[in-house]
Amino acid sequence: MKLLIKSAILVDANSKHHLKKRDLLIENGKISRIAAQIKDDQIKQLKLDNLHISPGWFDPSVSFGEPGYEERETIANGLNVAAWSGFTTVGINTNTNPIPDTKSGIEYIKTKGSNHAVEVCPVGALTVQSEGVDLAELYDMQQEGALCFYDHKKPISNPNLLKIALQYAHDFDGLVQSFPLEAGLARKGVANEHVNATRLGLKGIPALSEEVQLSRDLQILEYTGGKLHIPTISTAGSVDLIKNAQAKGLQVSCSVSVNNLVMTDEVLEQFDTRYKLMPPLRTEKDRKALIKGLSTGVISGVTSDHNPIDVEHKQTEFDHAYFGSIGLESCFGALNRVLGTEETVKSLTGLKQAFGIPTVTLDEGQKADLTLFNPDSDWIFGRPDIRSGSYNAAMIGWPMKGRVYGVYCGKKLLLSQ
């Protein structure tokens, strides 16, 4: 298949074509030519309003439900949503039934997503059944194609277990994730422990619960060596802890949820369970610190933290509702409004290195792994914009800047309309 993309502004700081308007000729899944103008009426052409192109985006923390919770989302539809949202590679979380804690679990997810253009990278559970007791089959899962090892949103309460996991995974260059939450301090909290939660009578999750766990994990990493990723930090103190650890030379990376870059705990006023998130929405001080941590490179990148929840477990009393929000469809528009286009692209591709995903540039001879978007349109995110199987979207009603057209990946063009 040949495709000629016309008059696109290329957004790639690692390319000599950065911020220049160019035509791209794609042949057999590779960028064969980039020029100010390419004329060939015999080739299929793509022209889109204010088209911008960047290297394909990567999200390491996406939940689809399948297997076990197909009523929330299937892998097939979830991958379509990812493509329409600009993501060419996604890491699929372990909050399924059964939990992927063996090589057969990893094989199942890869097989289900094998016919799609978006690359599927299954996450393997760190412990058997994600119960935090015994290590799962880490090496076998790695050999089968597991992206990393993580008990989704479950903290590792046993410090010796984390120590052993890091030591073992270090032998085959495996990446361990540890969710930063000290359960004894968080207890049954449902929102950030601060003025707003107190005023509303909601049980609090203190910033201390994240920072104490993170500090412990970093000390263990310093002792063991290996690679550690901290998913979705949410406090100013966590940014400082990660920064200091990186200055020591530790192989630690971290991500931040788009929710914590855009919103604060002030939105809890109406007790809307769409805003019941983990990690919880924090203060404006924390939000600004996270943005600074992202801009300085302390935080490697952003995740949509996409997590579909069925109606029965979301539209209920705040205390009883499940944590989580879908986020793929709104991720770019919300982030672009806060960070600007260049920083947004950087943040949506920045986690590739931490997870060992090959990076591509917008240059001739490179694999065509592309995200297509218009960064300048202003709009309000609403329910009609949701393509996911669930509708628990925290961003409904929020102003967006920029829309995604789709992706070119896996030798296929997937457009949202």
- Residue ranges and CATH numbers for the domains of the chain are 2-52+364-376+401-415 (2.30.40.10), 55-355 (3.20.20.140)
CA nearest to 93, candidates 163, 177, 162, 218:
177
As a whole number of angstroms, the distance between CA 50 and CA 214 comes to 43
Q: Is the CA virtual torsion 137, 142, 144, 149 positive or negative?
A: positive
Token pair 């690359």 is at which residue? 119
344 pLDDT tier (thresholds 50, 70, 90): very high
SS3 229: strand
Active-site residue (options: 305, 319, 376, 385):
305
Helix (H) or strand (E) holding 58: strand 57-62
Does 417 have pLDDT greater than 80? no
30-35 vs 45-46, strand pairing mode: unpaired
pLDDT tens, 147-206?
A: 999 999 999 999 999 999 999 999 999 999 999 999 999 999 999 999 999 999 999 999
Q: How far is CA 162 from CA 150, 216, 245, in A?
A: 11, 10, 17
Half-sphere exposure of 171 (CA within 13 A, CB side): 7
In the residue annotation, 272 being an active-site residue is answered as: no
Q: What is the percent of the chain where pLDDT is above 90? A: 98
3-state secondary structure of 401: strand
pLDDT value of position 1 = 78
- With bands split at pLDDT 50, 70 and 90, how would you rate the model's confidence at 24? very high
At residue 270 the predicted structure's pLDDT band, cuts being 50, 70 and 90, is confident
Instruction: Read off the pLDDT of residues 106-118 as tens digits, 9 standing for 90 and up.
Output: 999 999 999 999 9
- Per-residue pLDDT, averaged over 122-141, amounts to 98
Looking at residue 367, the DSSP 8-state letter turns out to be B
| 346-398 residue pLDDT tens | 999 999 999 999 999 999 999 999 999 999 999 999 999 999 999 999 999 99
Q: Which of 83, 117, 75 is nearest to 100 (CA)?
A: 75
Alpha-carbon distance of 325 to 72, in angstroms, equals 11
pLDDT of residue 375: 98
In 11-102, which ranges are continuous DSSP H helix? 75-84
pLDDT of residue 60: 98
Instruction: Quote the tokens at residue 415.
Output: 């457009």
Classify the phi-psi angles of 55: left when phi > 0, otherwise alpha if psi is within -120 to 50, otherwise beta: beta
pLDDT of 276 strictly over 90: yes
Backbone angles phi, psi at 149, to 5 degrees: -130, 125
3-class secondary-structure state, position 405: strand
Q: Give yes or no for a contact between 24 and 40, defined as CB atoms under 8 angstroms apart.
A: no
Token pair listed for 303: 């995740």
Residue percentage of the chain with pLDDT more than 70: 100
Distance CA 232, CA 179 (A): 8
Enter the tokens of residue 399: 């102003």
27: Cα within 13 Å, side-chain hemisphere: 7
pLDDT above 80 for 401: yes
Burial status of residue 240 (CB atoms within 10 A of its CB: 0-12, 13-18, 19 or more): middle
Q: Tell me the per-residue pLDDT of 209-268, one tens digit each, with 9 for 90 and over.
A: 999 999 999 999 999 999 999 999 999 999 999 999 999 999 999 999 999 999 999 999
Please give the structure tokens belonging to residue 128: 């058997």
Is the previous residue joined to 67 through a cis bond, with omega within 30 degrees of 0? yes
Mean pLDDT across the stretch 89-110?
98
Closest CA to 193 of 182, 203, 185, 181: 203
| pLDDT for position 113 | 96
DSSP letter assigned to residue 142: H
Other Cβ atoms closer than 10 A to 359: 14
Structure token pair of residue 69? 């919770």
Residue 227 and residue 166: Cα distance in Å, rounded? 7
Judge whether 394 and 275 are in contact, CB under 8 Å: yes
356, 175 Cβ separation under 8 angstroms: yes
